[in-house]
Every structure is written in C-alpha cells, then in structure tokens.
Amino acid sequence: MKMKNEINPYTPAFGTPPTAYIHREQIENQIMNEFCGPGSVPMSYMIIGARGTGKTVLMHEIANRFETSADWVVARMNPNVDMLDSLLHKLAGHKKAAPAIKSAKINLAFFGLTVDFSTPQIKDVEEAIAEIVKGLRDNEKRLLIIVDEATNTASMKKFASAYQNLIGQKLPVYLLMTGLYENISRLKNEKNLTFLYRMPRILLSPLSLNRIRENYMNTLEVDVAAAEMMADITKGYSYGFQLLGKLTWDNRGEYTEILETYRSTLYEMVYEKIWEEMSDTDKYVMFCAATTEGTRVTDIRKAAGQNTNLFSTYKDRLIKKGLLHSSRYGHVEIALPFFKGFILQRYEGRRLARSEDLPDDL
C-alpha cells in the first residue's frame, strides 16, 4: 500500500478542511449561481444539519471559491465577538475593499482606523459598514459574509438586524451561515428578525455511499467488498467518513480491527453532546425508532403512543436536526451510524454490543 511515509488524508477534527473531501457540487453550484446572478435573489442561505455533517467545511469551501473572484469581498465572522465591530475592521483592512474606501473618501478615524481624508467622521458602526458596501457597489464588487454556528446571542441578534437594514437598502451584501436547527429556530423567533423566516435553508443529506466507496477504494486501496462495507458503516455521515478513513489508514488499510474504536469515538466525540442537547420527548421518539422493527412511520408513531399531529411535529424536527432521515415517503430511519446502539445504551442502560455485532447495530 502507499501509506508509508504519507500524510493521512482523512481529518475528523471538526471544521478542519480534509484532503480526502467529497464535494457537494449541487449545493456549491446552487449557491454560487444564485449569488452571482443579476439581481440575485435570494441573498442569503442557511446550512443546517447535525453535528459532524460537514456544514463548516462546506461553507468554507464555497467561501474559498468566491475569494478567487476579483468581484467579491469575503468576510469570515466569529459569532462570539462583537460582529459589527469585527466586520467594520475586516472591511477596513481588506485589500479588495481599500479602493472602494479610498474612492468614496470614507472617514473612519473615529474607529481608530487610519485615514487620509478631511471628510466628516462617521461615528456609527452600521453607517460606516453601509458606506463601505456602497463603495464596493460603486466599484462593481459584492460582499459575502459567512458565519459559522450561528446562535441566539446578543451580538448575533444585533448583526442580523443590521444585515436586514443593509439588504433593505438594496446593497450587494450576501450572507451564508451554518447552524444547528434548534439554535436557528431560537434566533429566527426574535422580534424584528423576520427575514430569517424567509432565508432559504439547506439541510445536509448524507453523503453518497457510492462516492464514499470509490474514495476508500482509491485512497485506502481496499477491495470493492471492503469499501462497500465501510461505506455502509458510515451511513454517509461526514464525520464518520473521515473518522473511519483515518483509523483505517492508521491501521494500514485493515478496517475490521478498528471498528470498536470507531464506534466509541463516535459516542464520545459527537453523540454524547447530541444526546445532552435533546429534549426528553426527542429522546423517547428516537428510542421508539431504534426499537421498532422496520422503518414505517406508522409503526414508530404507534410505539410512541402519539397521535398523528403530535408525532409529525417531533418527526419533522428530528429530521431537521439531522437525526432521522427519510429517503422515501412514509418511512424514516436513524441517520447516524451506530446511533441506534448509543440510544439503547443511554435509554435502557444496556452494555455495548460485542465488536462482532457492530454491523447489526447501525
């Protein structure tokens, strides 16, 4: 095999761009084409999904493509700081924005930013950002703001309100955010942030098992049967794909010996946090999905003892959270690999299955 002295191409660390990356071309092209179109609408997108589904990597992949264009300025925002102040300083120091600021003679001295103009100082941060974006517009440039893991914080609410004002002025400012479904739901329910209701959302579906199989065959040099089994064990879960690939690479291409480590790592690194954030009823519905024979929605609903309307509410929410997946009408299945076993262990206090039982625990 080719693995000796080579760097492992799989990176299960959250948010870290891996070398072995499976592109989601349809989503990437959809956002690129809609943002770049004349009079483009929509001007914002929200990417949602469970932890480990690849939201952050996808967002940065799209942002990287925009950055290669001379017509776009990209600002990568941290939602845990004062976002408006941060955005102003990012724009003021951006080399693509400098000509726009200079030609518009925008005086930012009040904010401690070096300027050479005698024009009146702008003392309001929102006004300063708006003036810079107007300068970008006049220089035939557009601004893309990206925000990873948006949450319902004071800074995020203030930023979202300011963004709504910018698009209200028909300025060329675009927004791409990622977030967990529950965090976005809390944010969009805030007063004066109604535009978030209209903001298109993309729920990340599982990666193609065929693409995963081909990747494992080409990168790990395993045979077709092994690659197919490995792909099935990931269930198309992005973090699972990277983790299984890394462990198999480190084990010289032999995946059967690392399955217990694969499963325990999923439990410890991802599922514990997901479980902690779930409501008791969410946990119960997932338990019913895990213990009901088959995938028929009707059977799971009956096991949960809920009427149709109530069950539909929880089912739809769990799908949006990325914990259930519906590939055909009237059926749902647990979306994450080995999450069924995790649910049984947490809900019933059962012991882990033996390693030879792992494929049956998916």
Closest Cα to residue 53, out of 275, 242, 227, 230?
242
Q: What is the pLDDT of residue 16?
A: 75
Is the whole model's pTM more than 0.85, yes or no? yes
d(CA 208, CA 229): 14
CATH fold group of domain 214-361: Arc Repressor Mutant, subunit A (1.10.10)
- Return the DSSP state at 78: -
Q: What is the pLDDT of residue 1?
A: 53
The per-residue pLDDT for range 53-65, each reduced to its tens digit, is 999 999 999 999 9
Asked if pLDDT for residue 352 goes beyond 50, the answer is no
Q: What is the pLDDT of residue 77?
A: 94
Tokens of 71: 């017509």
Domain spans in the chain, listed from the N-terminal domain onward: 25-203, 214-361
* pLDDT-based confidence at residue 214 (cuts at 50, 70, 90): very high
Lowest mean pLDDT among 15-19, 222-226, 317-321: 15-19
Pick the CATH number of 25-203 from 3.40.50.1820, 3.20.20.105, 1.10.760.10, 3.40.50.300: 3.40.50.300
Q: Are 130 and 108 in contact (CB under 8 A)?
A: no
Mean predicted confidence (pLDDT) in 303-318: 95
The per-residue pLDDT for range 96-130, each reduced to its tens digit, is 888 877 766 666 665 565 555 555 566 788 988 99
* pLDDT-based confidence at residue 198 (cuts at 50, 70, 90): confident
Q: What is the pLDDT of residue 300?
A: 97
Beta strands in 128-216 (DSSP E): 142-147, 173-179, 201-203
